[in-house]
A and B are shown apart, each in its own frame.
Chain A
Amino acid sequence: MTAMSAEHQYSDNDAASRIVLNHFLSHREEIIPEINRILRMKAFENRFILHPKRLKEIGTEEFDSFTDFLKHNDEKNAEDHGGARAGEGLGEDSLLSMGMVLRDIVLKRTGELERETLAFGIGAVDRYIFSIMRGYIRARENIILKAQEQLRVALSTALETQRRELHIKNHAIHTYINGIMITDIEGAITYVNPAFIKMWKFAETENVIGKQGARFLGIDSFDVLNRHLSMNSGWQKEYSAAREDGSTFDVDISVSRIHDNDYKPIGIMVSFVDITGRKRLEVQFRQSQKMEALGQLAGGIVHDFNNLLQVISGFTELELRKIQKESREYKNISQIKVAADRGKDLTAQLRYFTRQASGKHRPVNINTIISETHALLKRTFPPEIRITLELDPNLRMVEADPSQISQMLLNLCVNARDAVLIKKEPDDSKHVPGEPLGTITLYTENVKLDLESASRFINTQPGDYVCLRIVDTGSGMTPEVKERLFEPFFTTKGEKSGTGLGLAVVYGIVQKHTGFIDVKSVPGEGSIFEIYLPIVEIDIKSAVREDHHKTPQGGKGTILIVEDQPQVRELAVNALENSGFKVITAKDGLTGVEKYKEHYPAVDLVVLDVIMPRMGGRECFNKLKEINPEIKVLIITGYTADESVQELLKEGAVGLIEKPFDLDDFTETVRRRISSDRTPAGPPTSP
């Protein structure tokens, strides 16, 4: 019904309208409770947003709304009213039931009136209910549409979040540094990440998808694996994996099951970690530990051995001074001296290995040392061995002891020479005269080690290094030989030609220079020794070697010798007394302090051992300084690299004599120290 026609009807039925309206108004107090009763009955039909206590108010409002409609016949207003009720959460049932109540009232209370009035009343109720329902439904539609739109927005937001998170997870798996393989429950590969492709050296992912995954796990079939996974949370193992090109690598695999929402297994996921590098580091670590242990062992032997050799060598020297050079006794005792001196050479080499050898480090260019050594090698090596240099003219400086580096080079080259000569022997008949037997090439270059490169070597920091590479075409080494390469006294050359100390010395020197060695070798093809030494940026003044005065001169003054080894003590006493010094002795630090107290200030110099029973050299030194802060103390030790020795020098010891020592050098050093001003020794020196 349109508004125009309703208005027309209303004007025709003005009287009927007034009658119905008055009737409703006059029965207000009866009608409102009736509406409320209906609304209460339908309370649970309303939307939850409509609180039940609000219903009482709604009854009154509905009565007023209908009487207002009777007065003004405003369908638009009734529509808006219906819309408001929808927004408030009033149920459709409640509205329709309320319409029924109004209709009943018209029927029951206006039935006695004229038919025309009755018809008008029923029509008015219907038009009212129709209008509010129209507004109500329209509003409900809007509410539903709005809710759906809100839900759509919420879903879209959530899906976007999920999509983003899924993308992150996918990306994480895809870019994971370790290999990832996913298979279905039958073991057919459904996904591999790029790290997997790289690790297994496949050209592209397509070469793997659909293939059976078992072979990548080092197993024959998935059945056993599936049985294991049905009883365990996962499976892990390390094995040596073989790629299709035949190369191998060590891999650590971790396998876990993938389940669907009902926890039904639908496949597996495998993580592959290439542990080749880790294994190599483990070998290096074991090697390093072994070398450290050997070093400590050798260090102890060197100390004791030095003392013995010092006694043998020193006393034979003293005896030789008393004997005619042409006599048989002189020759015999000379043999003892020669043997003792050879022993000293051995211990000197062992000191390199144990890093006890002192050195004078200064910035040097390795190329210079190589060139000098090259000249020596060319003179001494067989002419059939070609020695070539490939030196980087822009090589950076390293802080090194040139003599030790030279020693290291010499040992490596001798080793390479022997490897070439060993290889030559079986094929000697094939050798073409004039052609070289083999080559030794020395390369140098600047190398920058990044984190990944440095991590290939144990205890190695990333940074700039100078790399010295010695490549020979000799016999090469087996892995077993390579493993023991740097052990002292390990040799493959036989007793005649090798002491087994050459590469041990190299090892010790490189360690002393905070460098590291990498060795590659293939039996029958040759070896590559790479020595990495850290570069130095600052210019460090080189230590100045003290002048040596070989000519023994007469001595004057009183010397206190504090030394626990009786033979060394006696030797020193002999040497000094023979040179004219007055000598007092003490067998340990405690006695030394007592003796010094007793004879001070007559004592001109104290010769002090470092490692002694009762009171060591360090404590003794401090006690002596308490007595006389200007005291001159000359350190005598076989452990020049020892920390306490370095500290003694820093704290004012006037010099250092390394055991075993030459007697003439010893007396000369004592003489010079007595006559010089009391100044700290500076860098450790040999006599």
Chain B
Amino acid sequence: MNTENDISGIADASQPNAGRMYDFFLGGSHNFEIDRQAAQQVLQYAPFLPQFLRLVRWFLGEAARRLSDQGYDKFLDFASGLPTVDHIHQILPSETRVIYSDIDPVTVAYAQEIIGDNPNVRYVHCDAGKPEDLLNSGIIEEVFGKDRKVTIGFNGIAWFLPHEKVGGSLKKLYEWADTGSKLFICDADMSEFTEAAKKSAEIYAKVGQPFYPRSLDKMRELISPWEIDEPGVQPLHQWLDMMEEGREVALQIRDGWGVDLYGIILKK
């Protein structure tokens, strides 16, 4: 969750860091006081953010489980973030092959240490806006063999990338993947961005993580030529079967930021 030019912002304890703020919102311990202070500022405008991020994270697990149940056993995940116990390889059958990636080199190094020498799992450095770096590397064949019918995770990263990068990345992934491949993506319809949302975005921009709000219609345009798979575009709480508490959180998010979180599974 870092800009490309930084060596590793996540390791700079003198400045708030978006990755560590994210960890704080999710109730983690990989953060510092300076991150918590910045996070508190965001919470003034978005008290629902911890729930917002939990929904995003839960969708990752949900989509991975559903696709695993459909028989997919090769997962390529972008912007995987700090490694946690709910990572794909831990919630899916042990024979599942997973390649995680993140733009932050420390996160990558950290994750590699935690994953250890699991032969079915790799964690590599890659910018989600430039997936070709990973697709053209030897690591793919090393883990997946020649098979390109895979599942791709593009979860909770699209709003941090400009339209052309999202469109470009999804197109490159489409061209690279075999027919039958799936891609799950979670984004937010931000067509009615509120002042509070803009204030939050400003704080994020200051810590090097600018938002690129887009409407659902724009996203429908960017995902082409991927096709939307069953059950279609759904609010995240619906994916998670959290119709009561989830709906309430979704309403808070809508009221606060003018944003609707949704998840989609795409197919080639």
Bound Cα distance A87, B50 (Å): 19
- Whether A147 lies near B29 (C-beta < 8 A) is yes
Kindly name the residue among B15, B107, B245 whose own CB sees the greatest number of chain A CB atoms within 10 A.
Answer: B245
Stretch at the interface among A47-55, A207-215, A510-518: A47-55
Residues of chain B touching chain A, judged by Cβ–Cβ distance below 8 Å, are 7-8, 10-11, 13, 15, 26-30, 50-51, 53-54, 57-58, 61-62, 84-86, 91, 105-107, 109-110, 113-114, 240-242, 244-246, 249
CA distance A537 to B36 in the complex (A): 77
Q: Does A144 contact B (CB under 8 A)?
A: yes
Q: Mark A141-152, 1 if CB is under 8 A from B, else 0.
A: 001100110110
B11 & A44 in contact (Cβ 8 Å cutoff): no
Contact B61 A159 (CB under 8 A): no
Complexed CA–CA distance, A147 and B110 (Å): 11
**CA distance in complex: A407, B109 (Å):** 74
Residues of chain A from 107 to 159 with CB closer than 8 A to chain B in the complex: 143-144, 147-148, 150-151, 153-155, 157-159
The answer to whether A49 touches B84 (Cβ under 8 A) is yes
Look across to chain B and name the residue whose beta carbon is closest to the beta carbon of A49: B86
Interface residues of A in 619-647 (CB under 8 A from B): none
Q: Is the CB of A43 within 8 A of B245?
A: yes
Q: How far is the CA of A89 from the CA of B28 in the complex (A)?
A: 10
- With A and B bound together, what is the CA distance between A155 and B9 in angstroms? 10
CB of A154 within 8 A of CB of B109, answer yes
Q: Classify the secondary structure of B's interface with A.
A: helix
Q: Output the nearest chain B residue to A154 by Cβ-Cβ distance.
A: B110
A41 at the interface (CB under 8 A from B): yes
Q: Hey, which chain B residues are within 8 Å of A150, CB to CB?
A: 30, 110, 114
Is the pair A52, B30 in contact by a Cβ cutoff of 8 Å?
no
Residues of B within 8 A of A47 (CB): 26-28
Whether A388 is near chain B, meaning CB under 8 Å from some CB there, is: no
A170 at the interface (CB under 8 A from B): no
In the assembled complex, the CB of A653 is this many whole angstroms from the nearest CB of chain B, namely 63
A165 within 8 A of B: yes
Q: Do the beta carbons of B29 and A48 come within 8 Å of each other? A: no
Could you tell me the distance in whole angstroms from the C-beta of A248 to the nearest C-beta in chain B? Answer: 41
Task: Known pairs A44-B50, A155-B11; list 5 more (Cβ under 8 Å).
Answer: A51-B61, A51-B91, A53-B62, A154-B107, A161-B105
Is A157's CB under 8 angstroms from B109's CB?
yes
A162 within 8 A of B: yes
A303 CB within 8 Å of chain B: no
Q: How far is the CB of A580 from chain B (nearest CB, A)?
A: 87
Q: How far is the CA of A628 from the CA of B264 in the complex (A)?
A: 91
Q: Verify B11–A154 contact, CB threshold 8 A.
A: yes
**Which residues in B have their C-beta under 8 angstroms from that of A76?**
none
The verdict on A48 contacting B105 (CB below 8 Å), with A40-B244, A155-B11 known, is: no
Residues of B within 8 A of A91 (CB): 27
Give 7 nearest A-B pairs by CB, closest first.
A158-B11, A147-B29, A158-B106, A154-B110, A48-B26, A49-B86, A48-B57
In angstroms, Cα B30 to Cα A137, docked, is: 18
Q: CB-nearest residue of chain A relative to B244?
A: A40
Residues of chain B contacted by A155 (CB below 8 angstroms): 11, 13, 106
Q: How far is the CA of A157 from the CA of B30 in the complex (A)?
A: 15
Q: Which residues of A contact B51 (CB under 8 A)?
A: 44
Of residues 639 through 673 on chain A, the ones whose CB sits less than 8 Å from some CB of chain B are: none
B7 and A147 form a contact (CB under 8 A): no
Residues from chain B with a CB closer than 8 A to the CB of A53 are 62, 240-241
Q: Is there an interface contact between B244 and A154, defined as CB atoms closer than 8 Å? A: no
A261 to B12, CA, bound (A): 13
Q: Are A43 and B242 in contact (CB under 8 A)?
A: yes
Residues of B within 8 A of A48 (CB): 26-27, 53-54, 57-58, 84, 86
Q: Nearest chain A CB to B237's CB is how many angstroms away?
A: 9
Q: List the A side residues contacting B27 at CB < 8 Å.
A: 47-48, 91
Cα A157 to Cα B113 in complex, Å, equals: 11
- The chain B residue sitting closest to A37, CB to CB, is B244
By a CB distance below 8 angstroms, the chain A residues around B26 are 47-48
Tell me, in angstroms, the Cα distance from A118 to B139 when the chains sit together. 64
Q: Are A40 and B245 in contact (CB under 8 A)?
A: yes
Please indicate the chain A residues that have their CB under 8 angstroms from the CB of B91 in the complex: 51
A158 to B10, CA, bound (A): 8
Q: Please measure, in the bound complex, the distance between the C-alpha atom of A296 and the C-alpha atom of B178, giving whole angstroms.
A: 69
Interfacial chain B residues near A162, Cβ < 8 Å? 7-8, 11
Distance from B14 Cβ to chain A, minimum over Cβ atoms (Å)? 10
Cα–Cα, bound, A678→B158 (Å): 88
What are 12 A-B pairs with beta-carbon distances under 8 A? A43-B242, A44-B50, A47-B27, A48-B53, A51-B86, A52-B246, A148-B29, A153-B113, A154-B10, A154-B11, A154-B109, A155-B11
Residues from chain B with a CB closer than 8 A to the CB of A261 are: 15
Assess whether B245 is in contact with A41, with CB atoms less than 8 Å apart.
yes
A91 to B50, CA, bound (A): 13
Q: In the bound complex, how far is the Cα of B6 from the Cα of A161, in angstroms?
A: 12
Contact partners of B58 in chain A: CB under 8 A: 48, 51-52
How far is B233's CA from A70's CA once the two chains are assembled, in angstroms? 48
B30 touches A151 (CB 8 A): yes
* Among A43, A53, A89, A158, residue most surrounded by chain B Cβ atoms (within 10 Å): A158
In the complex, what's the smallest C-beta–C-beta distance from B172 to chain A, in angstroms? Answer: 29
Which residues on A sit within 8 Å (CB–CB) of B105?
158, 161
Contact residues in A for B8 (Cβ distance below 8 Å): 158, 161-162
Q: Which residues of A contact B86 (CB under 8 A)?
A: 48-49, 51, 89
* In-complex Cβ contact of B29 among A87, A144, A157, A161 (8 A): A144
Q: Which residues of A contact B57 (CB under 8 A)?
A: 48
Cα–Cα, bound, A564→B61 (Å): 96
A101–B54 Cα distance when bound, in Å, is: 26
Cβ proximity bits A345-369 to B, threshold 8 Å, 1 near / 0 not: 0000000000000000000000000
Closest CB in chain A relative to B246 CB, distance in Å: 8
A161 contact set on B, CB distance < 8 A: 7-8, 11, 105-106
Closest to B7 in A: A162
Contact of A49 among B13, B50, B85, B107 (CB under 8 A): B85
**Least distance between B195 CB and chain A CB atoms (Å):** 25
Q: A286 vs B30: C-alpha distance in the bound complex, in angstroms?
A: 66
Q: Write the nearest CB–CB distance from A156 to chain B, whole angstroms.
A: 9
User: Which residue of A has the minimal Cβ distance to B249?
Assistant: A44
**How distant is the Cα of A52 from the Cα of B239 in the complex, in angstroms?**
11
C-alpha gap A15/B6 in the complex (Å): 68
Contact A153:B110 (CB < 8 A) given known A48-B53, A53-B240: yes
User: Is B7 touching A151 in the complex (CB atoms < 8 A)?
Assistant: no
Q: B7–A165 contact, CB under 8 A?
A: yes
Question: A179 to nearest B CB, angstroms?
Answer: 27
Determine the chain A residues whose CB is within 8 A of the CB of B11 once the complex forms: 154-155, 157-159, 161-162
A151: B residues at CB distance < 8 A = 29-30
The answer to whether A44 touches B109, judged by C-beta atoms less than 8 angstroms apart, is: no
* Cβ of A149 to closest chain B Cβ, rounded Å: 10
Residue of A nearest to B52 (CB): A44
Let me know if B242 and A52 touch, CB within 8 A: yes
